[in-house]
């Protein structure tokens, strides 16, 4: 009986826990209101609007914002994603291979490309023709951008696939093998399809990461019809000496990334319910 | 006569732990042999050595006269003739019941889609889940899943069937359906090696009962003897624990 929660403590002058909570919450609201008032009073709204949200500059971004910049962002991202998906699956299978050198190669690749800044990879790609005389990345600028995103994405995608492949119960392989399927057949028919289903949510997140990283194409020195959103916004901003195009590019990213983020968490939720 | 299964001096180690300590045993065509024994006695390992899901450390396994432990043998071809049913069903969760029963027919036996479907429906009907063809495993009860797993094995026309505690993961009220299917198979003359805790099934259906303990075969004989009148003290103690768990 002594341990029962007390609604009131007669004979004590201090505030009850509930009262304390109310006071604490009141203070938090006051701080927030004060900060808001400070921002409203001290920010130079006219100047901000002039530099970050100028309507006629924003209008100048159309229609190329969508017809060139967003289109290219999507080309770089999907190209890089397909590259990363295929190479990533291959690396994951190598990582789990019985043949030790395959495991070493996969580990080496994954550690290097996850450990380096993506930007560094893009800078190196620019120097590829110098390092390998006569070598040219196919499909020109698109090829370079896709290669850069794919090389980095493959390392992350490989780890996602590895987790998925390892999450398929051993009994699945045993059942397939005991039906007379070869080890390869069992992987292709039974294990990999289940692994791919399991990795759809993290892979969607990985796609969003690649979409954002496609802004690094900026450092390939692209121009004209090859520009993607970040480069497009940056160029226009320089031209008008105004930050509005960068804001416009930013909003365009969000239009794509936020729905994809929701999709990923919904897919995750569905997976959770099925279990 | 060639034995359906013959084990000669079978040893299996997991690390330094010897799980099978020299097993000699045969199963003749058409026989139903039940393997009973306490957990950890090596009975599941013995079963899994027959289709080489476990590789024996020493000794030989013959299936229909062919030494499957021989290094040159095509193990996939051997497994095709041996149906296996697992405690956890191990149905493929991303395929419907029908697809589960069709896939190995198509990919391994190279049967056409139509033929595979006819065979699959026949076998699903036979085990009493013909109405559940389009259901995913997750939508079926444990008993239904296990019967689909039996149909999946039967669709390959195996010459013998291995059952690894097929009813141990089932709710008690679902055990009967699976045992009924197994009994029917036995009556049709299927060669069956069954690891089980179902003493009633062993007594009524088995031609022989093998009692294992500590990695060796302790007693091997007809059910009336091994279960009804065990000669060894270890067998008696085990049966007493199983048949009178409350004492």
pLDDT in tens, A232-265: 888 888 888 888 889 989 999 999 999 998 988 8
What integer pLDDT is reported at residue A222 of this predicted model?
A: 79
A177: which chain B residues are within 8 Å (Cβ-Cβ)? 53, 76, 79
- Say what percent of chain B tops pLDDT 70: 100
What integer pLDDT is reported at residue A131 of this predicted model?
A: 77
How close, in Å, is residue B76 to chain A by CA atoms?
5
| Domain regions of chain A by residue span | 56-130+137-274
- Comparing CB atoms, the residue among B80, B103, B138 nearest residue A274 is B138
What integer pLDDT is reported at residue B147 of this predicted model?
A: 97
- Comparing CB atoms, the residue among B84, B88, B109 nearest residue A178 is B84
Q: How far apart are CA B80 and CA B83, in angstroms?
A: 7
Cβ distance A175 to B156 less than 8 Å, yes or no, reads no
- Comparing CB atoms, the residue among B77, B104, B138 nearest residue A179 is B104
Buried b (16+ CB within 10 A) or exposed e, A92-102: bbbbeeeeeeb
How close, in Å, is residue B55 to chain A by CA atoms?
13
Whether B243 shows a pLDDT value over 90: the answer reads no
Cβ distance B76 to A176 less than 8 Å, yes or no, reads no
What integer best gives the mean pLDDT of chain B? Answer: 95
Cβ distance B94 to A197 less than 8 Å, yes or no, reads yes
B79: which chain A residues are within 8 Å (Cβ-Cβ)? 177-180
- Comparing CB atoms, the residue among B88, B104, B109 nearest residue A171 is B88
Mean of pLDDT values over A31-45: 91
Whether A11 shows a pLDDT value over 90: the answer reads no
Cβ distance B153 to A179 less than 8 Å, yes or no, reads yes
Q: How far apart are CA A72 and CA A61, in angstroms?
A: 15
Q: Which long-range contacts (CB under 8 A, 24 or more apart) does A137-140 make?
A: A140/A226
Of the candidates A143, A138, A163, the one whose C-alpha atom is nearest the C-alpha of residue A220 is A143
- Comparing CB atoms, the residue among A172, A178, A185 nearest residue B92 is A172
Whether A22 shows a pLDDT value over 50: the answer reads yes
Whether B24 shows a pLDDT value over 80: the answer reads yes
How close, in Å, is residue B81 to chain A by CA atoms?
8
Strand B191-195 and strand B5-14: the pairing is unpaired
Mean of pLDDT values over B90-94: 96
Cβ distance B84 to A175 less than 8 Å, yes or no, reads yes
Residue A163 CA from chain centroid, whole number: 18
A182: which chain B residues are within 8 Å (Cβ-Cβ)? 76
Residue B212 CA from chain centroid, whole number: 16
Residue of A nearest to B149 (CA): A175
Q: At a CB cut-off of 8 Å and minimum separation 6, what does B1 contact?
A: B28, B29
| Full-model pTM | 0.82
What integer pLDDT is reported at residue A275 of this predicted model?
A: 39
Q: Quick one: A56-130+137-274 is in which CATH superfamily? A: MetI-like (1.10.3720.10)
Q: How confident is the model at residue A3 (pLDDT cuts 50, 70, 90)?
A: low
Mean of pLDDT values over A68-87: 94
Q: How far apart are CA B4 and CA B192, in angstroms?
A: 10
How close, in Å, is residue A99 to chain B by CA atoms?
19
pLDDT in tens, A213-235: 999 988 888 777 888 889 888 88
Cβ distance A181 to B104 less than 8 Å, yes or no, reads yes
Type and span of the H or E element at B209: strand B208-213
A193: which chain B residues are within 8 Å (Cβ-Cβ)? 94
Q: How confident is the model at residue A51 (pLDDT cuts 50, 70, 90)?
A: confident
Q: How confident is the model at residue A6 (pLDDT cuts 50, 70, 90)?
A: low
B contact set with A (CB within 8 A): 51, 53, 76-77, 79-80, 82-84, 86, 88, 90-94, 103-104, 107-109, 138, 149, 152-153, 156
Mean of pLDDT values over B75-99: 95
pLDDT in tens, A83-129: 999 999 999 999 999 999 999 999 999 999 999 999 999 999 888 87
Whether A154 shows a pLDDT value over 90: the answer reads yes
């Amino acid at each position: 009986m002594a341990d029962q929660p007390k609604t009131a403590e007669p004979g004590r002058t201090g505030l009850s826990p509930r009262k304390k909570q109310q006071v604490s919450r009141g203070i938090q609201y006051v701080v927030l209101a004060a900060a808001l008032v400070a921002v409203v009073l001290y920010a130079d709204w006219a100047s901000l609007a002039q530099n970050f949200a100028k309507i006629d500059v924003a209008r100048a971004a159309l229609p190329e914002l969508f017809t060139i910049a967003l289109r290219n962002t999507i080309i770089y991202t999907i190209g890089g994603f397909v590259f990363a998906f295929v190479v990533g699956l291959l690396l994951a299978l190598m990582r789990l291979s019985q043949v030790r050198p395959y495991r070493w190669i996969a580990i080496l690749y994954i550690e290097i490309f996850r450990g380096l800044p993506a930007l560094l990879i893009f800078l190196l790609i620019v120097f590829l023709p110098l390092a390998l005389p006569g070598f040219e990345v196919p499909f020109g600028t698109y090829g370079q951008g896709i290669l850069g995103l794919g090389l980095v994405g493959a390392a992350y995608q490989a780890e996602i696939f590895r987790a998925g492949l390892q999450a398929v119960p051993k009994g699945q392989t045993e059942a397939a093998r005991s039906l007379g399927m070869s080890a390869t057949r069992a992987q292709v028919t039974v294990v990999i399809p289940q692994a791919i289903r399991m990795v759809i949510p993290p892979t969607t997140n990985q796609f969003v990461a690649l979409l954002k990283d496609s802004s690094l194409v900026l450092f390939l020195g692209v121009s004209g019809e090859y520009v993607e959103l970040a480069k497009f916004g940056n160029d226009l901003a320089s031209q008008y000496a105004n930050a509005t195009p960068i804001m416009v590019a930013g909003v365009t990213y969000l239009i794509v990334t936020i729905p994809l983020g929701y999709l990923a968490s919904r897919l995750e939720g569905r997976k959770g319910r099925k279990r | 006569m060639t034995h359906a299964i013959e084990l000669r001096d079978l040893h299996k180690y997991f690390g330094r732990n010897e799980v099978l300590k020299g097993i000699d045993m045969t199963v003749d065509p058409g026989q139903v042999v039940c393997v009973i024994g306490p957990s950890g006695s090596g009975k599941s390992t013995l079963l899994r050595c027959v289709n080489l899901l476990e590789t024996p450390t020493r000794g030989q396994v013959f299936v229909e006269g062919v030494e499957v432990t021989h290094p040159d043998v095509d193990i996939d071809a051997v497994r095709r003739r041996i149906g296996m049913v697992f405690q956890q069903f191990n149905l493929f969760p991303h395929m419907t019941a029908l697809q589960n029963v069709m896939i190995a027919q198509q990919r391994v036996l190279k049967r056409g889609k139509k033929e595979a479907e006819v065979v699959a429906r026949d076998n699903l009907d036979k085990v009493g889940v013909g109405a559940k063809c389009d259901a995913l495993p997750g939508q079926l009860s444990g008993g239904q899943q296990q019967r689909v797993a039996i149909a999946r094995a039967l669709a390959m026309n195996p010459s013998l069937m291995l059952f690894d505690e097929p009813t141990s993961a089932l709710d008690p009220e679902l055990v009967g359906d699976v045992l009924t299917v197994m009994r029917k198979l036995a009556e049709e003359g299927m060669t069956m090696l069954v690891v089980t805790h179902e003493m009633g099934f062993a007594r009524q259906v088995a031609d022989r009962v093998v009692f294992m303990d500590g990695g060796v075969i302790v007693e091997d004989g007809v059910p009336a003897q091994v279960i009804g009148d065990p000669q060894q003290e270890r067998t008696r103690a085990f049966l007493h624990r199983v048949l009178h768990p409350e004492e």
